[in-house]
């Protein structure tokens, strides 16, 4: 009986591993020397212009290195359950945000300049369209940054990752690829790995994904339209880093 229990326990672990292939958290990842950069390109998203209350706004084609300081606000009951600008359903108890120009699915670190508290959020809506305000957060984020009762607070924004590349940005709609070097349930751990790779290979992105109800933060590097080049760099990274990257298709 003990042998049977052991067998089924091992089988269960194997099935879970297959289900989470490509997104399972890696407990350790240490860089030995600089990885290869051949074939990597900087991703961009097509920008577009929209108009609200008589004013035009143009979204950013690329948010790498974006920083901003200003007022954060939050939006709640009035908008809860409504459709966001990217087509999702707004959840004031979730962890998302509205920004006027950052691409959808950009991940942003928001820091309360008064208390030093910070959170990481994902852009899925447009706004706020009040003078001086730079980001609208959910009620949950307002609580986490200790400003729900005040309504607004001075914050700094720093882009820490993104969701990848839009298919429209690749000529002819051809496929694009990246190398996934790790995935974590902790955004801070994912960001530490991403920070350690920046400057060695570009671009480096942190991509959020929901798998079986669990949020994973995937660290991806490089941008390729030629899978053979991606495979070549994957081999070089495999030699340079204590992990085996996998090739993922962006679209």
Q: Indicate whether 175 and 243 sit together in one domain.
A: yes
What confidence tens digit (pLDDT) does each residue in 30-67 have?
333 333 333 334 444 556 889 988 899 999 887 877 89
What confidence tens digit (pLDDT) does each residue in 155-172 have?
999 887 665 434 334 444
Overall average pLDDT of the 199-223 stretch: 80
Which two three-digit tokens encode residue 1? 């009986």
What is the C-alpha to C-alpha distance for residues 28 and 152, in angstroms, rounded to an integer? 39
Please report which confidence band the pLDDT of residue 202 belongs to, taking 50, 70 and 90 as the band edges.
low
- Containing 15, the helix (H) or strand (E) segment is helix 2-19
Say if 130 falls within a structural domain.
Answer: yes
Q: Indicate whether 157 and 71 sit together in one domain.
A: yes
Could you write out the three-class secondary structure of 226-250? CHHHHHHHHHHHHHHECCCCEEEEC
What is the C-alpha to C-alpha distance for residues 202 and 191, in angstroms, rounded to an integer? 15
Overall average pLDDT of the 111-122 stretch: 90
58 backbone dihedrals φ, ψ, rounded to 5°: -115, 125
In this structure, the number of other CB atoms found within 10 A of the CB of residue 92 comes to 19
Which CATH number does the domain housing residue 143 bear? 2.40.40.10
Q: Indicate whether 105 and 136 sit together in one domain.
A: yes
Say if 4 falls within a structural domain.
Answer: no
Say if 11 falls within a structural domain.
Answer: no
Q: Indicate whether 66 and 108 sit together in one domain.
A: yes
Domain final residue pick, 119, 145, 161: 161
Say if 8 falls within a structural domain.
Answer: no
Q: Indicate whether 157 and 175 sit together in one domain.
A: no
Which CATH number does the domain housing residue 38 bear? 3.30.70.1070
Number of domains observed in the structure of the chain: 2
Q: Indicate whether 128 and 223 sit together in one domain.
A: no
Q: Indicate whether 154 and 169 sit together in one domain.
A: no
Task: State the residue range of the domain holding 239.
Answer: 23-43+164-249
Which two three-digit tokens encode residue 34? 């600089």
Q: Indicate whether 131 and 176 sit together in one domain.
A: no
What confidence tens digit (pLDDT) does each residue in 173-185 have?
557 788 999 999 9
Predicted local confidence at residue 53, as pLDDT: 87
Domain final residue pick, 161, 189, 206: 161
Predicted local confidence at residue 40, as pLDDT: 39
Strands of the chain, DSSP E: 49-52, 55-58, 67-74, 96-98, 107-112, 118-125, 133-137, 152-161, 177-184, 204-211, 214-224, 246-249
Q: Indicate whether 214 and 129 sit together in one domain.
A: no
Q: Indicate whether 144 and 190 sit together in one domain.
A: no
Say if 202 falls within a structural domain.
Answer: yes
Predicted local confidence at residue 246, as pLDDT: 92
Collapse the DSSP code of 182 into the 3-class scheme (helix H, G, I; strand E, B; otherwise coil) and give the result. strand
Q: Is the pTM of this model over 0.85?
A: no
What is the C-alpha to C-alpha distance for residues 29 and 242, in angstroms, rounded to an integer? 6
Collapse the DSSP code of 188 into the 3-class scheme (helix H, G, I; strand E, B; otherwise coil) and give the result. helix
Overall average pLDDT of the 66-78 stretch: 94
Tell me the β-bridge partners of 49. Answer: 58
Question: Exposed (0-12), middle (13-18) or buried (19+): which is 203, by Cβ within 10 Å?
Answer: buried
Q: Indicate whether 28 and 97 sit together in one domain.
A: no
Task: Using DSSP bridges, classify how beta strands 107-112 and 152-161 pair: parallel, antiparallel or unpaired.
Answer: antiparallel
Domain final residue pick, 129, 161, 193: 161
Say if 18 falls within a structural domain.
Answer: no
Q: Indicate whether 182 and 193 sit together in one domain.
A: yes
């Amino acid at each position: 009986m003990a042998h049977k229990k052991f067998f089924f326990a091992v089988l269960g672990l194997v099935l879970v591993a297959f289900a989470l292939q490509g997104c399972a958290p890696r407990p350790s990842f240490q860089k030995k020397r600089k990885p290869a950069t051949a074939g990597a390109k900087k991703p961009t998203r097509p920008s577009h212009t929209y108009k609200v209350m008589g004013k035009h706004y143009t979204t950013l084609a690329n948010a790498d290195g974006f920083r901003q300081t200003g007022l954060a606000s939050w939006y709640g009951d009035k908008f809860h359950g409504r459709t966001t600008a990217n087509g999702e359903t707004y959840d004031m108890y979730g962890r998302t945000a509205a920004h006027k120009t950052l691409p959808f699915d950009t991940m942003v670190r928001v820091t309360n300049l008064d208390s030093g508290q910070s959170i990481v959020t994902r852009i899925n809506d447009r706004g706020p369209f009040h003078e001086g305000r730079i980001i609208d957060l959910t009620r949950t984020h307002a609580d986490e940054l200790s400003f729900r009762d005040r309504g607004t607070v001075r914050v700094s924004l720093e882009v820490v990752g993104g969701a990848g590349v839009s298919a429209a940005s690749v000529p002819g709609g051809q496929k694009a690829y990246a190398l996934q070097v790790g995935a974590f349930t902790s955004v801070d751990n994912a960001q530490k790995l991403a920070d350690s790779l920046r400057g060695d290979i570009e671009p480096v992105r942190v991509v959020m994904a929901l798998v079986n109800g669990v949020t994973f933060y995937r660290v991806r590097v490089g941008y390729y339209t030629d899978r053979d080049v991606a495979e070549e760099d994957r081999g070089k990274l495999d030699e340079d880093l204590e992990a085996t990257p996998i090739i993922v298709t962006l679209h």
